[in-house]
Structure 1
Amino acid sequence: MKPIRSYRSIPSIPDELDGLRELAGSFWWHWNHSTTALFRDIDPATWSETNHNPVAMLARLSREQLDALACDDAFRFRLRREVERYAEYTARPVWLGESATAEDVDTTVAYFCAEYGIAEFFRIYSGGLGVLAGDHLKAASDLGVPLVAVGLFYHRGYFQQRLTPDGWQQEAYPYNDPAQLPMTELRDGDKPLRLSLTVGGAEVHAGAWRANVGRTTLYLLDTNIEENPSHLRAITDRLYGGDEDHRLRQELVLGIGGVRLLEALGQTPTVFHINEGHAAFLTVERVRQSVAAGMDINTAFEIVRSSNAFTTHTPVPAGNKVYETDLVRPHLMPYLDELGVSWSDFLALGQVTRGEGGFGMTTFALRSSGAANGVSRLHGAVSRAMWHKAWGETPVDEAPISHVTNGVHTPTWVGREVADLYDLYVGPRWRAAPQEAETWERVASIPDAEMWRGHVRARERLVTFAQRDLARGLKARRAPASEIREASSILDPRALTIGFARRAATYKRLTMLLRDPDRLRALLTNPERPVQFLIAGKAHPDDHGGKEEIQRVVRFAQEAGVHRSVVYIENYSIHVGRLMTAGVDVWLNTPRRPHEASGTSGMKAAMNGIPNLSVLDGWWAEAYDDIRDAGRDPVGWAIDGTAEGATNDDDLDAQDADTLYGILEREVVPEFYDRDSHDVPRAWVGRMKRSVQELAHVFSSHRMVADYVEHAYLPLARRRRHLEADDARVARELAAWKRRVREGWEDVRIVDATIDAPESVPAGSALDARVSLDLGGLDAADVRVEVAVGKMDIIDIQAPLESVAYTELTCRSAPGDAGTTLFEGSFSSTLSGHLGVTVRVTPSHADIATPVEMGLALWA
């Protein structure tokens, strides 16, 4: 039977329960335990079956259930209380940072990302990037930052993981039904809103959805609409699905279509945040719109660049996409032709060195953004080392890439058992102001026994979930009944439980734990001090190596004698992550340094008082080092990750594994099982409390978003206002100056550089420097001449100077008869040892953001 028409049936909710629809329509409930409990208590079985989706659950309720709730005074009281809390929350004022002035009041931000992890049932995320983006939106909502977000609605989302009996990952892509999700279709009057863009020479139409993440609005573009043929409807089918061309089409819809959507909605954000390179094509559309409005392209690019912020999230090549030029060209040429930009000039924006081949999305984003950052202190340094050549001969330390260390949304990730303790002993500020150190001082007042009991209950809840999940998986694979029954006996709710959960990529070293199976078995089978492992994670569908890592762990877990102590949880999700980061006793992380840009799972564990045992990479490197350098007691354990004497990855893995086993055997296990007469591990609980007090405020997404406001959004907004003032006069003059300098730079020469430095001088002594330049057609005011002094490697004299400091020289004469211009001055250094001195000439203008912005420099 074929239907002639379809329509959406909306559940008829009694007026007395109308607040349910309001609460279900915003993701705010997801980080509020009392609202979550309200929905769960309506029908726990249906709540579980719908993967904790209130919209889907309400649609399944019978009329009898709804009428019974409408007559339940206690339920209606709870409902009114939650609706009032939500109304109070949405009425909070806008916040633009501690340094905001009256001129900043109209600043708004558009945040672009390819994925968002907001709730487990809203399957438009794959892992860390998406969950981080979701936490960003939640924190922006809590703080009141005027931010809207743009992404794609994937009808098949990211895959659902199932494991075969021998541990091989299989992928399934169930349908995301928009009617069963808390989002509404955007409309233009009485019709669905539509926009179009050119992709690969074809016109692609897109609709859009709106989702409310508290006070933050998320717009999701959708090409699966009737106006498109099937191959174009499929653009927004799967997250990171399809071939290279398919991914490129998705990124064009996200970047170009996203900017057009905001224009269609009448929204004019001040700053655009490109969260990873997938969204970098938004620059093309922003420039195109400005040119269409009458602005010349160079001026338009200056303004657009000045108001783009870019965050790079990984040093791993797979996360820094480089497309073949023949693939990109047909997609971009219609836009470049409209702008009058040559293909070679555009291509150079996506290449670290012009002509190197390919078009890199990270490089393009860096070149077209006024602020760029990595996601931890170490990752910022790694990123500068990776990308500094995008700015010519710029030294690594001067590459304009800073860092904003990631954070996690505290109310989302604190488990309900610990949340109850925080409510009682810490007070409401742990939800409202988790970024403040003072908020967490009262954690010390939680009685050890209560802290321990709360954690034990969280562990018991995790173990129960793991047992049921294993039984469900066995039933799905049609395992023998005896094997299914045995699932209820796996894991010991009293044993030391170590968690490891993240994307299964080879650099994460999931199988490092198996390096010495006999040593591991000894830990797992100790009858007096047993240890058990809960492991979860998905491999990318095309990552054969990651799938093999999963299979090795599953096969080991199936061995007799350890199968009750090592469990692999299928289909890692936000829900599984919340259970694990609240319920394990130790959070384990073993990336191959420095491949882990940040990592956030360990932060989530720390919010719950769970100690970390991790390689010193990403966020843990700065967390551990800062506590140690301050002379305070450690809150976790560190694997150095830079094993001395290791000549290859295999040697490094072997040494790191040995360190891991040693820490478990000598430190973790004894401390965990050292109990008092009430069975409370006092030293362990002390470590738990210190973990919260030391880390919760530092690694909160509230702190992270506040950092972006203060160090990216507000500075960029102010710079944009400056460039746009007086009908964009400043931007026009800056663009014209840059053109003139670029055209004349090849004629600039250092004719002579003299440094009056004896072989040995006392530190801090003033020395003289004189530099003669042939400026060609440029003026003295167009350049900045500096003396650079730094520590010198006496073995490798060609190595870059370290700890470099610059002193600007002053122009002392107009061009002489020889056509040279003299710059001179004195400099000093407080450094001691063998120092090297050189001279650098860079373009100089009052309105460039940094001396290296243009990537032009002459060195003596």
Structure 2
Amino acid sequence: MNIIGQVTVLPQLPDAIARLSELAYNLYWSWTPRAQALYQELDPSNWERFQHNPVRLLLEVPQQRLEAAAADADYLDRYRGVMADFDAYMGKKDTWISKNAAELAPVAYFSMEYAFHESLPIYSGGLGVLAGDHCKSASDLGLPFTAVGMLFHQGYFRQLFNKEGWQEEAYDELDLTTLPIKPALTPAGEEARVKVRIGERDVHLRVWSLTVGRIRVLLLDANVPENSEEDRRLTARLYGGNQELRIQQYVLLGVGGVRALRALDVPAQVYHMNEGHAAFLGLERVREAVETGLDFRTASEAVASSSLFTTHTPVPAGNDAFSYELMDRYLGKWPGLLNASREELYGLARHDQLWDGHWVPTFSMTVFALRMSRMANGVSELHGEVSRDMWKFLYEGAEAREVPIGHVTNGAHNLTFTSQAMRDLLSTVLPTDWTERLEDGEMWKGVEELSDAQLADVQLNMKREMISFVRGRLREQLTRNGATAAELAALGEVLSENALTIGFARRFATYKRATLLFRDKARLSRIVNDPQRPVQFVFAGKAHPADNPGKSFIQEIYRVSQEPEFRGKIVILENYDMNVARHLVQGVDIWLNNPRRPLEASGTSGMKASFNGSPNFSVLDGWWREGYDGTNGWPIGEEREYADLNVQDDADAYSLYQTLETQIVPLYYAPPQPDAEGRGGWRQTVRLTIETVSPRFSMQRQVIDYVRGYYLPLTRRGAAISANGAQRAREIAGWKSWVRQQWPHTTLTASANLPSTARPGQKVEVRATVNPAGIKPEELRVEAVLKRGDDITRVPLTAQGEGQYSAQVPLDGSGLYSVGVRMLPVIEGLSNDLEAGLIRWA
């Protein structure tokens, strides 16, 4: 046969179920299992084959099957129920925002990666899951919110294990026509295109629109005909390539993202940078302001006044920094565009670092993000402390606790990770509107009404589903690697529904210590193989393609899983993604996490397991340091620092084994002894896990914290600083320039009549003499600083005449005090006392 052409005949949805197509293009279905079931039932095989993608599924379903579904009364009832819920959600007017923060300005949220669902693989790990969940809860709460990211057409990578258990990477080209995205249209109805100059060339970007409930996500795509082959690959892979690729991707995200908002006429007044990758959005916003006639410093003040930066990285090596030579190559024209000198622009990001044995100035994305925002935060209480200490050098002379970096502890989107079975059970004891009040801790006390039997039944069914999933995944892996019939048959013995099952699934960075469990294999073998009280473990996780130590951890777990005493009782799954994560957090009995404290910024996987009643067993780091209350899980190790990492690993491994043997296993296997209400023992821990973790670590609570603590203050500050042609920004910028010019000429001397010993409450006189070098006295704060251990007290000194200050400073408690005097410049309208970055100590 001579083929003269090809044509695809697409199935047509019958009128009775026609809105399945509309729903497929709104990721509302991604956290609605009953909506997903409508698609799965049409073609279960293709539903699995196409990673649960309803758009692709509808392209493949035979017309006869669609007609049959449209004639099925039961299917139509479920369809109408799902669509009624969808319409109620989309049409809701009395959202949390409308009732609690109606004055909130539109928010633009920038992130390098987003994890919404496994069918859209443009994420690598926790940062992406957090960003995706943030968007979902922004929708749930009714925020005026638009997210901006990148459409990586080869995603991150598909992980494969070879016969030796070594991670291999596969990159699949996404078929954009089968994804739940559509070209973004300008107000004139044209497909949105923007261009960004990188070095000596223009890179063109197509903008795609993704609908997530009530909000929109804009995804940038350089894989367009107008670009060279090299430039088309700029949006090929997430976190691939070298520094040259990364800096270009960051320019596309930051500069291209702002231009995409403008091309689509999307309102945005508050800008949220999720990690330093997005910091270049500040460049474009300053350029826009300069174009309106503002000078560089005024424009920078105006832009920073409405910007928030969230840092996720607690180790210096995780913060991107580029050489000035690389900056010149790719952003060399930007100083001219901003009417700034190279030194002025690069100075906003300068971080001197030791490279190849020499101290060199670098352009730090984190420093630039901090300088170009007036609010910043870490992602847990401890991470906030670590971040303030990491970046205190930017505020020379300040104590770490004063550094203006706060914290919002991460959360997770409850409905994305809570199984439908658990949701149905919760609905029997919680109010009918419980899914809209997830942050309400008082409401969650209703969980106490659930009986042991109810919880046991639901959790056993979730575990069975997880075990079936694990066996299916292992079958695919073994078949690809040429397993024998006997090896495939043995899969029926992998994992037992009657054994205590512990899950661990993380990005395989080495600090997460995935192999800590194997530090004493003989002891582990006794735990796993106890005939009366067996324990089994399920692992999953990806290592970065360039991270061979992380890959070695994966291989070590794989090899242990093949040893006779551990076979079928310790397993590791390949291709960790959101699908694997959901099955594990819903099916295991306990969630294990053992990072090297304090390197876990937050972590969220344990939260998701807890939503489903699986207690957390973790190092007191990140969120668990705040979440653990003595009843809802178990700690590993102590809350202390170690000078020797081997000593730390030994201590934490010992604690892990000891707690498992003496507390967790006995409690899990103890005969049920319920009280009169049918509660007690293991299931009481399950109840308390759900009740305490679900509200405090819901993404709903997290987004509300951002609204109250950051978005609303930035709404007000941004408007005030930019009002009247940015008059206040101009005043602040001018004042900072003047003060920084004069500061080297200021002097401060101080004295105090300090006795060798004193009574609690006794006052001592502290005096200071100031040469203000022309700075107005009312623009200088002179203060005594008292340090007692970790406590710091600041007491203002009062002006007593020409350059003279004094105060009676009380010593309120017992202990050894250190007393100092310092001076710093302040005026009304600064975001914090350290904003000018100048402190002089006597």
Q: Letter of the aligned partner of 1:605 in structure 2?
A: A
Deviation at 1:5, TM superposition (A): 11
Change in CA separation of 1:333 and 1:94 when aligned onto 2, cut-off 3 Å: farther
2:329 counterpart of 1:330: yes
Deviation at 1:314, TM superposition (A): 1.7
Deviations 1:360-411 (A, max 9, x none): 1111111111110000000000001111111222211101000000000111
Matches within 5 A, 1:467-546: 467-546=471-550
Tell me how large the CA RMSD over aligned residues is: 2.2
Q: Letter of the aligned partner of 1:423 in structure 2?
A: S
Deviates more, 1:535-544 or 1:6-15: 6-15
Matches within 5 A, 1:254-653: 254-352=253-351, 356-624=360-628, 627=629, 633-641=630-638, 647-653=643-649
Q: Is the 8 A contact 2:42 2:61 kept in 1?
A: no
Structure 2 match to 1:804: 792
Q: Letter of the aligned partner of 1:808 in structure 2?
A: P
Question: How many pairs align?
Answer: 834
Q: Is the 8 A contact 2:192 2:260 kept in 1?
A: no
Deviations 1:579-635 (A, max 9, x none): 1111101110010000100000001111111111111110111112xx2xxxxx521
Provide the C-alpha distance between the structure 1 equivalents of 2:738 and 2:391, rounded to a whole number of angstroms. Answer: 26
Q: Letter of the aligned partner of 2:556 in structure 1?
A: R
Matches within 5 A, 1:115-130: 115-130=113-128
Deviation at 1:226, TM superposition (A): 0.8
**Helix, strand or coil at the partner of 2:19:** helix
Matches within 5 A, 1:201-280: 201-280=200-279
Change in CA separation of 1:402 and 1:760 when aligned onto 2, cut-off 3 Å: same
Provide the C-alpha distance between the structure 1 equivalents of 2:635 and 2:416, rounded to a whole number of angstroms. Answer: 26
Structure 2 match to 1:27: 27
Structure 2 match to 1:663: 659
Deviations 1:482-504 (A, max 9, x none): 21221122111111001011011
Provide the C-alpha distance between the structure 2 equivalents of 1:2 and 1:809, rounded to a whole number of angstroms. Answer: 94
Q: Letter of the aligned partner of 1:138 in structure 2?
A: K
Change in CA separation of 1:762 and 1:2 when aligned onto 2, cut-off 3 Å: farther
Change in CA separation of 1:641 and 1:168 when aligned onto 2, cut-off 3 Å: farther
Matches within 5 A, 1:679-718: 682-718=680-716
Deviation at 1:281, TM superposition (A): 0.3
Q: Is the 8 A contact 2:637 2:651 kept in 1?
A: no
Q: Letter of the aligned partner of 2:538 in structure 1?
A: L
Deviations 1:224-283 (A, max 9, x none): 011111111110000111121111111100000000110111123110000000000000
Scaled by the length of structure 2, the TM-score of the pair is 0.96
Q: Is the 8 A contact 1:97 1:709 kept in 2?
A: no
Deviations 1:389-435 (A, max 9, x none): 11222211101000000000111111222112112222434311110
Q: Is the 8 A contact 1:353 1:389 kept in 2?
A: no
Deviations 1:342-373 (A, max 9, x none): 22222222224598522111111111111100
Structure 1 match to 2:784: 787
Provide the C-alpha distance between the structure 2 equivalents of 1:402 and 1:9, rounded to a whole number of angstroms. Answer: 56
Q: Is the 8 A contact 1:784 1:808 kept in 2?
A: yes
Deviates more, 1:723-732 or 1:493-502: 723-732
Q: Which one of 139, 142, 149 corresponds to residue 140 of structure 2?
A: 142
Q: Is the 8 A contact 1:642 1:652 kept in 2?
A: no
Deviation at 1:647, TM superposition (A): 4.7
Q: Letter of the aligned partner of 1:474 in structure 2?
A: L
Q: Is the 8 A contact 1:138 1:214 kept in 2?
A: yes
Deviation at 1:465, TM superposition (A): 0.6
Q: Which one of 776, 782, 804 corresponds to residue 773 of structure 2?
A: 776
**Helix, strand or coil at the partner of 2:503:** strand
Q: Is the 8 A contact 1:329 1:343 kept in 2?
A: no
Deviation at 1:642, TM superposition (A): 5.3
Q: Is the 8 A contact 2:672 2:681 kept in 1?
A: no
Deviates more, 1:519-528 or 1:479-488: 479-488
Provide the C-alpha distance between the structure 2 equivalents of 1:333 and 1:687, rounded to a whole number of angstroms. Answer: 59
Identity of aligned residues (%): 39
Deviations 1:636-656 (A, max 9, x none): 111135578x65211211121
Structure 1 match to 2:806: 824
Scaled by the length of structure 1, the TM-score of the pair is 0.94
Deviates more, 1:110-119 or 1:525-534: 525-534
Q: Letter of the aligned partner of 2:752 in structure 1?
A: I
2:83 counterpart of 1:83: yes
Deviation at 1:39, TM superposition (A): 1.9
Provide the C-alpha distance between the structure 2 equivalents of 1:96 and 1:772, rounded to a whole number of angstroms. Answer: 53
Q: Letter of the aligned partner of 2:416 in structure 1?
A: T
Structure 1 match to 2:58: 58
Provide the C-alpha distance between the structure 2 equivalents of 1:775 and 1:138, rounded to a whole number of angstroms. Answer: 52
Q: Is the 8 A contact 1:741 1:782 kept in 2?
A: no
Change in CA separation of 1:562 and 1:11 when aligned onto 2, cut-off 3 Å: same
Deviations 1:151-200 (A, max 9, x none): 00000001010001111000011111111111101234464221111112
Q: Letter of the aligned partner of 1:812 in structure 2?
A: Q
Q: Is the 8 A contact 2:379 2:408 kept in 1?
A: yes
2:22 counterpart of 1:37: no
What are the ranges of 5 or more consecutive residues in structure 1 without an aligned counterpart? 628-632, 793-801, 815-820
Provide the C-alpha distance between the structure 1 equivalents of 2:384 and 2:741, rounded to a whole number of angstroms. Answer: 32
Provide the C-alpha distance between the structure 2 equivalents of 1:98 and 1:87, rounded to a whole number of angstroms. Answer: 18
Change in CA separation of 1:641 and 1:230 when aligned onto 2, cut-off 3 Å: farther
Change in CA separation of 1:574 and 1:299 when aligned onto 2, cut-off 3 Å: same
Deviation at 1:8, TM superposition (A): 8.7
Q: Is the 8 A contact 2:451 2:679 kept in 1?
A: no
Q: Is the 8 A contact 1:206 1:225 kept in 2?
A: yes
Deviations 1:21-63 (A, max 9, x none): 1111111011112212222222222211111111111111111
Change in CA separation of 1:736 and 1:273 when aligned onto 2, cut-off 3 Å: same
Deviations 1:666-720 (A, max 9, x none): 1111111112389x99411000001111111110000000000000000011011
Change in CA separation of 1:555 and 1:743 when aligned onto 2, cut-off 3 Å: same
Provide the C-alpha distance between the structure 1 equivalents of 2:576 and 2:100, rounded to a whole number of angstroms. Answer: 40
Deviates more, 1:9-18 or 1:221-230: 9-18
Change in CA separation of 1:362 and 1:94 when aligned onto 2, cut-off 3 Å: farther
Deviation at 1:4, TM superposition (A): 11
Structure 1 match to 2:761: 764
Structure 1 match to 2:831: 849
Provide the C-alpha distance between the structure 2 equivalents of 1:363 and 1:431, rounded to a whole number of angstroms. Answer: 39
Q: Letter of the aligned partner of 2:312 in structure 1?
A: H
Q: Letter of the aligned partner of 1:469 in structure 2?
A: R
Q: Is the 8 A contact 1:529 1:669 kept in 2?
A: yes
**Helix, strand or coil at the partner of 1:666:** helix
Q: Which one of 735, 741, 752 corresponds to residue 737 of structure 1?
A: 735
Provide the C-alpha distance between the structure 1 equivalents of 2:302 and 2:686, rounded to a whole number of angstroms. Answer: 48
Provide the C-alpha distance between the structure 2 equivalents of 1:763 and 1:234, rounded to a whole number of angstroms. Answer: 68
Change in CA separation of 1:726 and 1:393 when aligned onto 2, cut-off 3 Å: same
